[in-house]
Amino acid sequence: MGYVAIKGGKASIEGAAAATDYLRASSGKQNQSLTLDAIEGQLRLLVSRVVSEGGLYHPKLAALAIKQFQGDTLEAAFALRAYRSTKPRLLETPPQNTVDMRVIRRISSAFKDIPGGQMLGPTYDYALRLLDLGLADENPEDFRAIARHFLADAPENELPDSFPKVLDALRTEGLLPPLKPVAGAPFDITRQPLIFPVPRAAALATMARAETGSLLAIAYSNMRGYGDVHPTIAELRVGYVPVMLPHPVTGEPMEAGEVLMTECEVVAMFEGDDQGGKPVFTLGYGACFGHNEVKAISMAVLDRALQKGMKDGAANPSEDPEFVLLHVDGVDSMGFASHYKMPHYVTFQSDMDRLRTTQAKAGIDTVRQKDTV
Amino acid sequence: MNLPPDFPPRNRWGALLAQLPADQVRTAAAVLMLEVVDITLPQSGLGLMHLSDSALNDGFYLGEIPVARAHVRVKCADGRSGEGGAVLLDDRARLARAIAVLDAALAAQLPGWESVATLVAQGLDAHEQRAQTRRALLARTHVDFSLLGQEEEDE
């Protein structure tokens, strides 16, 4: 039995779009359209999810997508992916380095004292998870005063913009594996299919634009016992990385702009190398566009788990590259789940026919047979 | 007349000019009244961001970034010329072209270059203001550890 072509529903599809927009426009007492600036500034963590899951660092368009899809991060990321597919690719940057990150937050759970010190920056980590009812009816003057007061109360400081890495100290002590030599162009997941086995670069790129909840769920399985990573966060940092590109005239690296990103380096159990060398800690790495710490930590845990799986074979799902990398993309998985909403009239008719035939062969008196008597 | 010794180097001019309102930058480029020839057509599109993983130094692609770029040759009425370029994390090719014109005028010190230097200085001020705000985020949240029992509790 094949598919049959059907038509119809054009008016209802247009009506559905209008109904969706009606709910957006008619909600609330004020009936004011959200500005992109307000979304970008006040829903910055939502924007962060969309830029990282969309795989495109464009906060303004991410804010637009959030507005258009009324806060649905999966649809917003999908829209960014669709946008990117319409644009020409002009260049590939030289390898960028997060040592120059203009940090707004950096912490370590490995050491109390780290070079440059720990700065909590903007975080809810130490706040009570209690609703702030004052925000429910925030007056504009109080709202504007928050920024003014914060800056007025900031102590004088001579802090640098960037800080040394915690891992460098461990590496100097010989406790970490040596850095790998610079290799060629990494695996490009936007142009090459994931055919396993894939290199670590493919895994990192896939996880960098993965859906946060999916990464967290699989990383959590490892943390709870279906794995053995037990990480210590050597450093978690959030900040702006200056993107350096060659100047068109001089060829010297010039700053083209900056990208907000989150980066996490985890240290896990030590092991010896295959050649009988001295044991060193194993490492995991996570990074993503925007400010998204749960994603960076989850990615670092999974990076470490996948390294083990690639080397020794997977002992659990979180160590299996195929299981992890093919199931963490939000646009892929959302698309598959959503496609079940599309008409399956013919295939379901076929399922019913098969069931009726099976029941008839088994001699079962079906409801349909009774009804038709 | 030369640029002061502490003036930002050329590789920062583009980023600093990009801190200013786009209209201001485009107007500044237009009033220089230079003849502009595109060496390569201004373009906007995407760039693939290659990142070095700081744990093991494996390179990978973090994602894509918007890129606008321009490369121009400019000529002024007295016949002097210069070459300028810009690459920005931005969608606006026209803005990149305007910055490339300003880059050329300032690098070759063509007539009107002083106004471009002033713009770069304004961009530096804006950049510094933003850096100060970020430092405030750090300074207000710098963790002052002490061992239990060695110091009085703050509160």
Secondary structure (H, E, C), A131-171:
CCHHHHHCCHHHHHHHHHHHHHCCCCCCCCCCCCCHHHHHH
From the list A159, A209, A257, the residue facing B90 with the nearest CB is A257
* Claim to verify: residue A49 and residue A183 sit in the same structural domain: no
The answer as to whether B143 is a domain residue is no
Asked, for residue B144, whether it belongs to a domain, the answer is: no
d(CA A154, CA B133): 9
Contact A92 B47 (CB under 8 A): yes
Please name the residues in contact with B45: beta carbons below 8 A apart, sequence gap of 6 or more. A87, A88, A89, A90, B66, B67
Residue B29 belongs to a domain: yes
Residue type, A336: F
Give the integer Cα–Cα distance in Å for A360 and B91. 65
Total domains in the fold of chain A: 2
Hey, is B116 helix, strand or coil?
A: helix
**CB nearest B61 (choices: A121, A186, A250):** A186
CA A29, chain centre distance (Å): 34
CA distance to partner chain A, nearest, from residue B86 (Å)? 7
Whether the pLDDT of residue B135 is over 90: the answer is yes
- Please give the pLDDT value at position A101: 97
Give yes or no: residues A68 and A103 share one domain. Answer: no
Please report whether residue B145 resides in a domain: no
A interface test, pick of B37, B44, B87, B132 with most A CB neighbours within 10 Å:
B87
Q: Do A90 and B45 touch (CB under 8 A)?
A: yes
Residue A364 forms part of a structural domain: no
Contact A119 B143 (CB under 8 A): yes
Does A80 lie in the same domain as A16? yes
Pair A50, A187 in one domain: no
Look at B51 and A98 and tell me if their CB atoms are within 8 Å: yes
Question: Which residues of B fall within a CB distance of 8 Å from A254?
Answer: 10-15, 87
Greatest extent of chain A over all pairs of C-alpha atoms, in Å:
90
CA distance A285 to A233: 10
Give the C-alpha separation, A297 to A310, whole Å. Answer: 20
pLDDT, residue A154, reads 85
A45 and A107 assigned to the same domain: no
Cross-chain CB nearest to A254 (options B11, B46, B65): B11
CB contact under 8 A, A159 and B139: yes
DSSP B15-32: HHHTTS-HHHHHHHHHHT
The answer, for A313 touching chain B at a CB cutoff of 8 Å, is no
Task: Report pTM.
Answer: 0.93
For residue A283, give the chain B residue with the closest CA: B55
Contact B11, A253 (CB under 8 A): yes
Give the largest CA-CA distance in chain B: 77
Q: Is residue A153 part of a domain?
A: no
Bridge partners (DSSP) of residue A89 are: B46
Q: Which two tokens stand for residue A276?
A: 């009988």
The pLDDT confidence band at residue B151, using thresholds 50, 70 and 90, is low
Mind listing the pLDDT tens digit of every residue in chain A (373 residues)? 455 667 778 899 999 999 999 999 987 666 789 999 999 999 999 999 999 999 999 999 999 999 999 999 999 999 999 999 999 999 999 999 999 999 999 999 999 999 999 999 999 999 999 999 999 999 999 999 999 999 888 888 889 989 999 999 999 999 999 898 988 899 999 999 999 999 999 999 999 999 999 999 999 999 999 998 889 999 999 999 999 999 999 999 999 999 999 999 999 999 887 777 899 999 999 999 999 999 999 999 999 999 999 999 999 999 999 999 999 999 999 999 999 998 888 899 999 999 999 999 998 655 555 555 4
- Those of residues 9-68 in B touching chain A at CB distance below 8 A are 10-15, 18, 39-40, 43-67
**Do A204 and A73 share a domain, yes or no?**
no
- Rounded to the nearest angstrom, the minimum Cα separation between B34 and chain A is 18
The total domain count for chain B is: 1
Write down the ipTM of this complex: 0.94
Collect contacts of A166-174 with beta carbons under 8 A, ≥24 apart.
A166/A108, A166/A110, A166/A111, A166/A114, A166/A115, A166/A234, A166/A235, A166/A265, A167/A234, A167/A235, A167/A265, A167/A283, A167/B54, A167/B55, A169/A114, A169/A115, A170/A234, A170/A267, A170/A281, A174/A278, A174/A280
Containing domain of residue B121, as a range? 10-134
Residue B149 pLDDT more than 50?
yes
Contact (CB<8Å) B69/A287: no
**Among the three residues A334, A349, A365, which one is the final residue of a domain in this structure?**
A334
- Which chain B residue lies closest to A154 (C-alpha atoms)? B136
B38 in any annotated domain: yes
The pLDDT, as a whole number, for residue B155 is: 45
- In this prediction, residue A373 carries a pLDDT of 47
Quick check: is A309 in a domain? Answer: yes
Cβ of A257 within 8 Å of Cβ of B15? The answer is yes
For A52, the domain range is 10-84
**Across the strands, what pairs with A233?**
A266
Shared domain check, A172 and A75? no
Q: How far is residue A366's CA from residue A157's CA, in Å, rounded to a whole number?
A: 81
Residues 67..96 of B with a Cβ closer than 8 Å to A: which?
67, 69-71, 83-91
Spell out the residues 6+ positions from residue A96 whose beta carbon is closer than 8 angstroms to its own.
A241, A243, A244, B49, B50, B51, B52
Specify if B65 maps to a domain. yes
Sign of CA dihedral B103, B109, B111, B113: positive
Interface of A with B in 191-210 (CB under 8 A): 200-202, 204-205, 208-209
Convert A202-217 to b/e letters by CB count within 10 Å (16 or more is b): bbbbbbbbbbbbbbbe
Residue A164 token pair: 């040394």
Is residue A225 situated within a structural domain? yes
The predicted-structure confidence for B7-43, as pLDDT tens digits, reads as follows 999 999 999 999 999 999 999 999 999 999 999 999 9
Q: Is residue B2 part of a domain?
A: no
What is the Cα gyration radius of chain A?
26
- Please tell me which residue of chain B has the smallest CA distance to A106: B138
